[in-house]
Structure 1
Amino acid sequence: MVGSAQMLYPFGGSGPPDQKSCEGNCARNFPPALAAQGDRPSGELSLVRTANGASQWAYKGELLYHGLMDKKPGDRHGDGLNQVWHTVQP
Structure 2
Amino acid sequence: MRAHPIAFVAALGFAMTACAGTPGAGMLTSADGRTLYTFDQDTDGSSHCQQAPCSTNWPPYSVEAGAPQPAGLTMIKRDDGSQQWALGGKPLYFFAGDRKPGDAFGDGLKGVWHVARKASSGGYSY
Q: Normalized against structure 1, the TM-score is what?
A: 0.77
User: Counting strand residues as a fraction of each chain, which structure ranks higher?
Assistant: 2
Unaligned runs of 5+ in 2: 1-12, 14-29, 119-126
Q: Which has the higher contact order (CA 8 A, sep 6+)?
A: 1
Paired position in structure 1 for 2:105: 77
Paired position in structure 1 for 2:54: 26
Paired position in structure 1 for 2:41: 13
Sequence identity (%)? 33
**How many pairs are equivalent?**
86
Q: 1:19-45, CA deviations, whole angstroms, 9 ceiling, x for partnerless residues?
A: xxxxx8212110111110012323321
Q: Aligned AA for 2:92?
A: L
The Cα RMSD (Å) is 2.5
Q: 1:60-81, CA deviations, whole angstroms, 9 ceiling, x for partnerless residues?
A: 1101111111111110000011
Higher mean alpha-carbon deviation, 55-64 vs 37-46, is at 37-46
